[in-house]
Every structure is written in C-alpha cells, then in structure tokens.
Amino acid sequence: MLEAMGQAAKQASYQLSTLSTAQKNAALLLMADMLEANSQSIIDANKLDMAAARESGMSEALLDRLLLTPARLSAIASDVRDVCRLSDPVGQVIDGSQLDSGLKLERRRVPLGVIGVIYEARPNVTIDVASLCLKTGNAVILRGGKETHHTNLATVKVIQQALEQGGLPAAAVQAIQSPDRELVAEMLRLHQYIDMLIPRGGAALHKLCREQSTIPVITGGIGVCHTFVDESVDFEKALTVIESAKVQRPSACNSLETLLVHQAIADSFLPALSVRMHQAGVTLHASENALPLLSNGPASVVAVTEEDYRDEWLSLDLNITVVADLDAAVAHIRQYGTEHSDAILTRSISSAERFVREVDSSAVYVNASTRFTDGGQFGLGAEVAVSTQKLHARGPMGLEALTTYKWIGYGDDLVRA
C-alpha cells in the first residue's frame, strides 16, 4: 500500500514542480473555500475523535490540540489564503557568478519533491502542511495519529476534491488511513519516494524517526522553553509577559515551562508572581531555594523534580528556580533546554546581548514572550514544523525550508579545458 502511495506522490511531485505561482495560488484559494464550505463534515468527524479521546483519558492539553471549532477551522482556512500572498520561493535565483572558464553559474530554488509528515493529536497540521507543500510544488504523505483518524480522513477528502477540481493530482496530498503502527516503520524506509521526513509529536516519536529512518529527518517541536528574569526588570511588565507566555495557550510547544529568577530580586518578585499565577490558575513547581519564598503565597506550589525540568508540561504548570546570575541561568538552559525558544527579561543591554550570544536556541527573545515562535507570527504563513536542529532549517519552517536548490550552468558550447 505505501509503495503505491509513494509512487503516486512522486509522480504528482513532477507535475507540481512545473506549476506557475498563479496556478498554485488558484489551487490554494479553492482549497480554502472548500474547507469552509465543508466545515461541518470536518467538525462532525472531529467530534468523533474528541469523544474517543475523552473516553481514553487523554489529557486536557492534548484535547485542546485535537479540538477543531468553527472559529479554529475558519482561522486555518484564512492561513491558507495568507500563504497565497507570500512570495513563492520556487524559481528564485539565490546567487550566481561568471566563471573564468566562461561558464555562467547560478543557484536556483526548487521543490524538495515528496515530504512525509508523522504527527499526533494536531489536526491543523493536515491543512498547514498541505498548503505549504502545494505552494512550494511538493507532494506530501501524511500519517496522523489514531487520535485524529476521523478528522484527517474528512480533511484530506476535502483537500483532494479541491485539487481535482483545480486540475491537479489528488495524490499531491495523501494520508495513510490505517492506524496500524507497523506502517510508520514502513514509511520510515520509503527513501526511494520520500525526500524529507518531519515528525511532529513527543520525544518518543522523534527518537524513533532518528534511529530507524532511512530518510533525512527534521526534528523539533519539543519545547522546554525558559525565561530568565534578571535583577533590573520592571516587575509589572515582567509578570505580564510571563503570564501570557504560560497561560495564553499552555498546550503549545512555545509556551513557557521554566522560569529562572535572579536571586537579587527573588524575595520580592516571587510573592508577586504567586499572586499573578494564582489568578491564572497556574500550579508552581518550585526548586529548593524558591519553595520557601512561594510557600506563603496564594498559588498552589509543590517541589520541582528533575523530570519536571526535562519535560514539557503543556498545561497550567510552571517550574520556578532561583539562580545566582546570568551565567547560572544560561547553564540551566543548556542543561535542560531543547533549543526551541528561550527569553530574557531585562533592562540591561549588555545582559541581553550576552544572553542572545550564549543561548543556542532556534529562537531567542529579549523582553518578549516565547509564544512568538510561530510561522504566522514570523510572517512565514502557516508552518510545517519548528526545527530545533541546525542543518537545512531552524526555527519555524515556512516556504523556503521546503525547498532545496540546484546548480545551473550556462555555456556557449563550452568544454572544460
């Protein structure tokens, strides 16, 4: 079955690679219109997945990721239209030169070919990935988790109808329908058809793909995100950023998980933090040196564990640690971070610049929330993933990250001397 899907995707990718920007944009607009026109069928399918997820005891954080509402689906369709307005990277000349031999050489952006994406309880990924791949002339094979089974089937059905109506091959966007986990292992070895693999899920999925895939893998999306509060901050402004970073959407990979507070202000800052977090319903997981300063506050507080520092909460929970200085904050991030998104709140230019230089994450912020690490916020349109590795792509992966390049040489019946 996967062999046939791979062959169909590869053939579709050849056709997609020849499309003009206008043709691709027309297909995207049609996709957005049909997603809205068929929204009820997708939402009804999502209700089946939500019911099954609740029955299985899925956490509130994952339920939030799984849920599709009319407003969310409309926003996703709007994201598809936004992709139309983005510059098409395919065909762009990156650079070029005239060699002494007379050969005119240039590097030109081209599609990767076929993208494979494995993801869990994230139905929006289906549409985000399909739109970005179509814009960049790539075919895609999707393998969602069993949690999104009905939602994905309904969504892909609508997308394929839009493709066919627009005169494009339905095989440009395919989904593995069976929940059989053995098919994941088979997909990881489909290197003759799939050019790049992107896992979007937990650490176990990323580990599986790194260890077993014969296809180049882009890993990321696991966000143990930190914010360091130094001794120079304005308390009220800092608390507002912290609350937003934790509370706005705690199930997102760019939400705040660990707060590092400079010891010079801990005595006064942590009680104020407790009040703000109590109002937001956040449970604090405090280090040994932070616990006494939080124990009399209104927020729920428990002792933090080593495991807490290493995992995403994806919920209304926040680790709190008092650190001696900037060096200690950077050391903590290097030990426990996932190189996703980390921030410093400070009024010191020198501290800000040191933090930016020394924290090696895909996105580093000064006096801003980590929640900005997002393709839409970065002006990239919908994102296919957030890469935390260093080769090919890093951070939110938009259109350019789904392209490669080829060298093109122009001569006049030129031969090498």
- As a whole number of angstroms, the distance between CA 92 and CA 72 comes to 33
Along the 417 residues of the chain, how does pLDDT read in single tens digits? 899 999 999 999 999 999 999 999 999 999 999 999 999 999 999 999 999 999 999 888 788 888 999 999 999 999 899 899 999 999 999 999 999 999 999 999 999 999 999 987 778 889 989 999 999 999 999 998 888 999 999 999 999 999 999 999 999 999 998 878 888 999 999 999 999 999 987 788 888 898 999 999 998 778 999 999 999 999 999 999 999 999 999 988 999 999 999 999 999 999 999 999 999 999 999 999 999 999 999 999 999 999 999 999 989 999 999 999 999 999 999 999 999 999 999 999 999 999 999 999 999 999 999 999 998 899 886 678 888 888 888 999 889 999 999 999 999 999 998
Indicate the residue type of 383. Answer: E
pTM of the model: 0.86
Element (H, E) at 225: strand 225-229
CA-CA-CA-CA dihedral for 200, 28, 399, 23, to nearest 10: 140
Number of continuous H segments (helices) and E segments (strands) in the chain: 15, 16
Q: For residue 350, how many other CB atoms are within 10 A of its CB?
A: 9
Task: Give exposure, 194-207, as e/b (b: 16+ Cβ within 10 Å).
Answer: bbbbbbbbeeebbe
pLDDT in tens, 222-267: 899 999 999 999 999 999 999 999 999 998 899 999 999 999 999 9
